Structure 1
Amino acid sequence: MNTFNRPEITDEKIELIRRLIEENPNMGRSQLSVKLCEIWGWRGQNGTLKDMSCRDMLRALDKARKIVLPEPKKATSKAGTIMKIKHLVHDETPITGNLKDLRPLRVEIVSSKDKLVEFKSYIDQYHYLGFDRYIGENMAYMVYSCDGAVLACLLFGSAAWSCRDRDKYIGWGKEQRKHKLNYLTNNTRFLVLPFVRVPHLASHILSLITKQISADWEHKYGHPVLLLETFVEISRFRGICYRAANWIRVGSTTGRGRNGGHHNAILPIKDIYLYPLDANYKSKLCE
């Protein structure tokens, strides 16, 4: 088996997962994901088990009621366990008015421990998905008004491994994608705080981010990003701010999860938006 491939989730594999859970009642989610990766030979390019991706897949199957996962274990200091987010008390004084009254906005990378705690608190309390974890290479931003009020939080992480409409739009093949995927990043969270109601703010923030994220990425990881992606859940949102900021809708997901491998839709359908940061991104990604 090619260890870089995501396993195709068939009925037989779902039955295997069910059997492992039933026969090992004391096995936690982390142990289960490691065991499955070993069985399927699911490893990354560096040879390490893809247990985090496997755990994402298991949660998606559990949400779709294909399996019943054991309850998460209490948080500990060990890697891979459930992380408890500290919820801070935030100033929720309404911020309204015109965008010009808040400008110039200040976009800051979240780097200090204190800011990271604050960032996680905002995302976990106010974003409908909460804060899960960082996925691979990542960049977190907090956005402030000219007088220092927090307005928004954004998180960028690893791009989805497989996405039919995105991959067709880029025009790359599996081998090109495997070697160039790190030149994409996924806007996994975008939160304008719920007590901030200012027209055109969200699209303005997106425009500011696109002007600096590639340089920020190169400074942190030693390489730029050429293309941004995001996935907008169509049952909840219309993607207006992304379209206003000139992101390109290239299609919709199949509902099979960020790592693919499922026959049937198990997740909400999402619109796919891309934003090129380099005029020659297609040729560079398809080299």
Structure 2
Amino acid sequence: MEATSSGKRYSGRVFDAAALEQVRSVLRAHAGASRQQLSYRVCEALDWRKTDGSLKDMSCRVALLRLSREGLIELPAPRRQFEPMRAYARRTPQGEPGAPIEAALSALGTVRLEPVERRCSGLWNELIDRYHYLGYKPLPGAQLRYFAYAGWWRCLASARRPGRAPRVMSGSAGAANSASATSVRCSTTPGF
């Protein structure tokens, strides 16, 4: 927060007395709304937009929280508490381990990598949580995620950035091998 002669600056925007009164009137008019909904309404009332024309709702949420902490406005209580790094609890039959396989890659035939589609993201997360030694944690930034198939069994493969060779993650064995490795250890999980 930065003080200016005409008001205080929050998230790049100056909030003078008139702007604060606009914010308060939006909060009064939408008393039952969530904090997210309120940030949209405040952005609309103040015409607070990004260069592409969309609302600057995240900047507005930060500003509203700071205004509230300084006692200039009163926000409703958060509807839910943020739980960082909570355990991934989903368990499905598709994620149950099969018999472990230890074999030369050449003995398994053709290995194909298929990108994980959005509809299979939950299964990916479950398999990482079950079989990766670190478990599942949300990853920041862009990732490419793969399922590796050889015949009827499936492993996990992951590449952090485009252009890098995927790493094949074994199931219950917990090892990671380069996709160009000569052998693989993996738990079988039936295809879907």
| TM-score normalized with structure 1 length | 0.27
Decide which structure has the larger Cα Rg and report it: 2
* Structure ranking higher in helix proportion: 1
Larger strand share, 1 or 2: 2
TM-score by length of 2: 0.39
